Amino acid sequence: MNIKDVLSPFTAWKRVARDPVTVKDPFNDRPGADRYRGFHKNDVEACIGCGTCEDICENEAIDLVPFKDPISGDSGLRPSIDYGRCCWCALCVDVCTTNSLTLSNEYTWVATDPDEFIFTPGVDKKDWDENEKGWKKPEGNYEFYGLKRVEMEHLHPEERSDSFIEMVKGYSKEQAQKEADRCVECGICTATCPAHMGIPEYIKAIRNDDIEEGLRVLYETNPLPEICGRICTHKCESVCSIGHKGDPLSIRWLKRYIADQVPSDKYKDILDTNEIENNDKKIAIIGAGPSGLTAAHYLVKMGYSVTIFEQFEAAGGMMRYGIPEYRLPYESIDKDINYILSLGVDIKYNTRIGADITLDQLGKDFDAVFSGTGLHLGRSTGIPGSDNEHVYYSTDYLRKITAGEEIEVAESIVVIGGGNVAMDITRSLARMQKVKYGKANIIATSLEKEDVMPADREEVVEAREEGAIINPGWAPQSIEIKDGVPTGLHVVECNSLFDETGRFNPQCSMDVKEFWPGVQIIESIGQGMDLSYISEEFKENMAFSPRGRVETNDYFQTGVKWFFMGGDIIEGPDVIHGIANGHKAAIGIDNFIQGIDFKAAK
Amino acid sequence: MDLKKLFQMNPDRSLYPEMGEDGKPIIDLSSHKFLKIWQGPQHPGITGNMSLELTVSGDEIVESKTHVGYLHRGFEKLMERRKFIQCFPTCIRMCVAEPDPNEYILAAAIEDLAGIEVPETAQWLRTLALEMARLQILLRSVPGQGGTFALGLGYQWGNYIRDLILDRFEELTGGRVYHMYIIPGGVRGLLPDGFKKRMEENLKLVDEFVINIDNLMYNNSVFKQRAKGLAVIPKDWIDTYGVYGPTARAAGVMRDVRKTHPYLKYAELDFEPFTTTESDVYARSRVRWHDLQTTVDLIRQIMAKMPDGGEIRAETPNVLHWRIPKGETYQKCESSRGEYGMYMVTDGSDKPRRVNLKGPSYTHANALLDKLLINANIADTAAIMVSLATCPPEIER
Ligand SMILES: Cc1cc2nc3c(=O)[nH]c(=O)nc-3n(C[C@H](O)[C@H](O)[C@H](O)COP(=O)(O)OP(=O)(O)OC[C@H]3O[C@@H](n4cnc5c(N)ncnc54)[C@H](O)[C@@H]3O)c2cc1C
Ligand code: SF4
Ligand code: SF4
């Protein structure tokens, strides 16, 4: 034995004089590190109740509980957390779509009642709610799902500015699947979509490359997917939870992707509509717009014999006669409509209710009637000169373009209006000018300034790319007429539209004036409805809102029990509201015919 | 009966138990020469819940059987029901005391099967986290060997410094014990400001500790007497029993995945794992003492070489429905106990089809420990078990 080995351990004694290293005061707080994964906090105002945190939690520690009434874009639920299950992995924080969920650096909590450890952060107030430190989603390139949208390819302005070829190219399979991958399946979109489409479900079908399933999901709530996949106002995208930190999902283009993949001759097999059992009840539908077509689709599937009466020579309503072809090609419209007609829907073209047949007659010949006649009357500004024959309504003009009628396309044009319809006519005429004169020379204006213009931003940008001048923030004063022909539009600067009480009351600087030359003027300031086919006798039995709209119950039934109305004349105006109304009305009509009680008309 | 033999002061222990022809001891409990005792599942000498069924004759062990099953949580099976990202918080508990290798092998398996390239910075940070994990556990297991011979002081010293390393873990990862840092795709954060400086201060304490523990333990006559020559693992058992890491290196067999199959940034680091040949408890502990110094040196190298900023995570598909193509892989790393690997099979769905952990404790603490304990003194049981770096949770996953 080595003597050194006996003595060496005694060197430990040199530490005797040192200060102890143990915690001297165990009763005082030792704050957790800045990134500490302590107790949960939730900014309940920023949280949207999407439930993604619940989905990722492998311990099932999270449960979404009611917090307030749901509103568009917010389920009204908030995550409650069970600390009997949580392991403080903070995956819920990292995946949170709004970054509202964080962890504090607090880690001690004493309570005698075990149920206290199930709590709703942010709602059940805690000492650490104001604690700024603790775990937050790591910064930098650390994302659990893609925040960037898969870019959609468009035709270049040079390729499209003189043609009506569809400008959006559509996703390839790889692009669609990549985009579909970003979805967190929260369903916030479904709640906001007027038709409550099964959006997460059809996006999932794309991920699974199960297009047939995708089509089935689409047709559960929407029989016009080719159309909606192109021109829907996509309210769903404005609430998409991914939009809080990144680009919302391209829900609309994904829908189009599914519909585009399936050839028409496969529809009946996939949707199982080769055989439909008929009943002996007959339904009449006035107008072959989206609301009428949708009602027809669901009613014919229920077994009713359905007849549509349409004043024009083709079906589609404003989808065909309003929306320009470069946004919505006729083949797409035809694909959706032909499938509906193929189910056995009868359609009588060139038949105007009120002129060719009365509503009263329809009521007698059919068991129920649905009307979706839309907004087809042009509205005028009424400014001096607007009654000139070279001043037109945009909708009349768009209809003529569709019908292939000969129309006047002047070398210089001014469009009054800054909404999407105004952009449609501007861009359509710019294309026709380019073909006829080699260049576009068209100005569109709106009362609103650029940042609050009603038209979609991309419409304005694309119109400019195509050579149109968009000049927002001006109020039209008069149309200058010389020798019976307009020479241009006088405008003054418009500063605001509404007064303090919120009433429409434009304020203009009368001394800031401009004159825009144009030998043709188009008015595009909205459309009105023509309900002249409803007789006074019927109207007496129907309720009207103070603003003159017909009031219906939740199933779009009017005071005249067999008469249902929907689409733009009731709600909207857009295609998806028409679809939603048409579907709900179909259910209402079925209930009505079967004598099932539902809330009576208001 | 040979009375002389019975009253002999120094009984000839080699006569007990009598060996049968099959080489196994003939144990007849009714002879009153044998006693069965259980060490564990609750016993300070058992690092975790496991138990040894010992048959003793006097104070000598004649037979030992390892019993596991006190700690079974079924992580491998649970992972078959978890999405890939959800396996991340699950896997860390497979070895509680050194959780980071669990995180790493899971991430590496997923990344290999999904074809994901981890960013440079994240690879450095992973290497750092793994060495920090080794450091904190060696600060326990090095002096812990002394603890098994009732030398508790070194353990107090080691644990104090370990707590400081946990402070560093806390600021880097947000957790002290379950770090949950090496996430599939990368890591969960860059170094906080001032981290390197604080780490260096801690490393200086480790340097000091290395000298102190050398004086206290390795140059201690009692420790030497008890540890030297105890539980020698012959070199030819290394392959037979599947022995890994420091335990193999103490028998002169170079086994260190960091060196033999470099992963992450180990190929860019300068180090030489220590080997010796005595292969007893002392040698195994001594190898770990050297490993401790290597780790300190590696942490210094990593901190000097790693980039300051950079990307921490590769782009992955949406983790909520991350499907991984059909395939299988085995990914490994060097834990403080030896090769630690994960075999994963995927079937194209969003969950692993099969996960299998391969850790050194499984072989060390079952077959090998059973064998080593024969003829050992009961008082040395804990020392022998600890010298194999047994981690019961890792056996039962
Ligand atoms: C230029 C323009 C662009 C638009 N762009 C979009 C867009 O991008 N996205 C979007 O969602 N929406 C858009 N809209 C709005 C959308 O087209 C309408 O909201 C939608 O078509 C309304 O559907 P509906 O079923 O109510 O009626 P409509 O589509 O207006 O259809 C009504 C149908 O009834 C027929 N009809 C009317 N009266 C009678 C009668 N007495 N007898 C027989 N038939 C009759 C009409 O001929 C017509 O076919 C646009 C509208 C316009 C004008
Ligand atoms: S993921 Fe975030 S936004 Fe969604 S419910 Fe949870 S805390 Fe709220
Ligand atoms: S920290 Fe982890 S275990 Fe806890 S609630 Fe969040 S996801 Fe679930």
Q: Specify the DSSP element, H or E, that contains A307.
A: strand A305-309
Q: Provide the CATH number for the domain formed by A380-525 in this structure.
A: 3.50.50.60
pLDDT of residue A378: 87
In chain A, which residues have pLDDT < 50?
600-602
- Domain A278-376+528-594 and domain A380-525, same fold? Reply is yes
B113-160 pLDDT, tens digit per residue, is 999 999 999 999 999 999 999 999 999 999 999 999 999 999 999 999
Please report where in the chains the tokens 């839309």 appear, as a residue: A374
Answer yes or no: is B85 within a domain.
no
Q: Quick one: B15 and B135 in the same domain?
A: no
Q: Quick one: B145 and B14 in the same domain?
A: no
CATH number at residue B117: 1.10.645.10
Domain boundaries, chain A: 40-130, 157-270, 278-376+528-594, 380-525
User: CA-to-CA distance for A362 and A366, rounded, in angstroms?
Assistant: 6
Q: Quick one: B208 and B247 in the same domain?
A: yes
Q: Whose CA is nearest to atom 2 of ligand 2?
A: A96
Ligand nearest to the CA of A118: 3
Does residue A286 contact residue A309 with C-beta atoms inside 8 Å? yes
**Residue partners of A92: CB distance under 8 A and separation at least 6:** A40, A53, A54, A56, A57, A62, A79, A101
Contact A141 B173 (CB under 8 A): no
Answer yes or no: is B272 within a domain.
yes
Q: Quick one: B24 and B150 in the same domain?
A: no
Could you say which architecture CATH assigns to the domain A40-130?
Answer: 2-Layer Sandwich (3.30)
User: CA-to-CA distance for A145 and A574, rounded, in angstroms?
Assistant: 32
Q: Quick one: B111 and B146 in the same domain?
A: yes
Q: Quick one: B53 and B171 in the same domain?
A: no
Q: How confident is the prediction for chain B on average, in pLDDT?
A: 92
User: CA-to-CA distance for B237 and B249, rounded, in angstroms?
Assistant: 13
Q: Quick one: B154 and B276 in the same domain?
A: yes
pLDDT band of residue B7 (cuts 50, 70, 90) is low
Answer yes or no: is B342 within a domain.
no
Contact B224 A5 (CB under 8 A): yes
Range of B293's domain?
93-316
Answer yes or no: is B42 within a domain.
yes
Axis crossing angle, helix A575-594 with helix A290-302, rounded to the nearest 10 = 40
Answer yes or no: is B279 within a domain.
yes
CATH H-level superfamily of A278-376+528-594: FAD/NAD(P)-binding domain (3.50.50.60)
pLDDT of residue A24: 66
Domain boundary among B282, B316, B350: B316
pLDDT of residue A161: 84
| Predicted ipTM > 0.85 | yes
A31-47 pLDDT, tens digit per residue, is 899 999 999 999 999 99
Contact A184 B318 (CB under 8 A): yes
User: CA-to-CA distance for A399 and B145, rounded, in angstroms?
Assistant: 91
Q: Is the pLDDT of residue B48 over 90?
A: no
pLDDT of residue A116: 94
Contact B85 A184 (CB under 8 A): no
Q: What's the domain count of chain B? A: 2
For A383, other C-beta atoms within 10 Å of its C-beta total 18
pLDDT of residue A246: 95
Please report where in the chains the tokens 């994904």 appear, as a residue: A254
A347-400 pLDDT, tens digit per residue, is 999 999 999 999 999 999 999 999 999 999 988 888 888 898 889 899 888 999
Find out whether the beta carbon of A187 lies less than 6 Å from any atom of ligand 1. no
B172, B174, B225: residue with CB nearest A90: B174
Q: Quick one: B181 and B62 in the same domain?
A: no
| pTM for the full predicted model | 0.90
User: CA-to-CA distance for A30 and B165, rounded, in angstroms?
Assistant: 16
pLDDT of residue B71: 82
Give mean pLDDT, residues B78-91: 95
Q: Quick one: B191 and B106 in the same domain?
A: yes
**Residue partners of B29: CB distance under 8 A and separation at least 6:** B36
pLDDT of residue A602: 39
B173-227 pLDDT, tens digit per residue, is 999 999 999 999 999 999 999 999 999 999 999 999 999 999 999 999 999 999 9
Which of B88, B319, B324 should we substitute to test contact with A (largest number of A Cβ atoms within 10 Å)? Answer: B319
B-chain residues near A95 (CB < 8 A): 319-320
Q: Is the pLDDT of residue B11 over 60?
A: no
Does residue A523 contact residue A416 with C-beta atoms inside 8 Å? yes
Ligand 3 centroid vs A293 CA: distance in angstroms?
A: 48
Q: Quick one: B63 and B97 in the same domain?
A: no
pLDDT of residue A507: 87
Could you say which architecture CATH assigns to the domain A157-270?
Answer: Orthogonal Bundle (1.10)
Give mean pLDDT, residues B297-320: 96
Answer yes or no: is B304 within a domain.
yes
Q: Quick one: B66 and B104 in the same domain?
A: no
**Residue partners of A497: CB distance under 8 A and separation at least 6:** A447, A448, A504, A505, A506, A507
Q: Quick one: B135 and B176 in the same domain?
A: yes
**Residue partners of A532: CB distance under 8 A and separation at least 6:** A354
B-chain residues near A107 (CB < 8 A): none
Please report where in the chains the tokens 């000018």 appear, as a residue: A433
Find out whether the beta carbon of A118 lies less than 6 Å from any atom of ligand 3. no
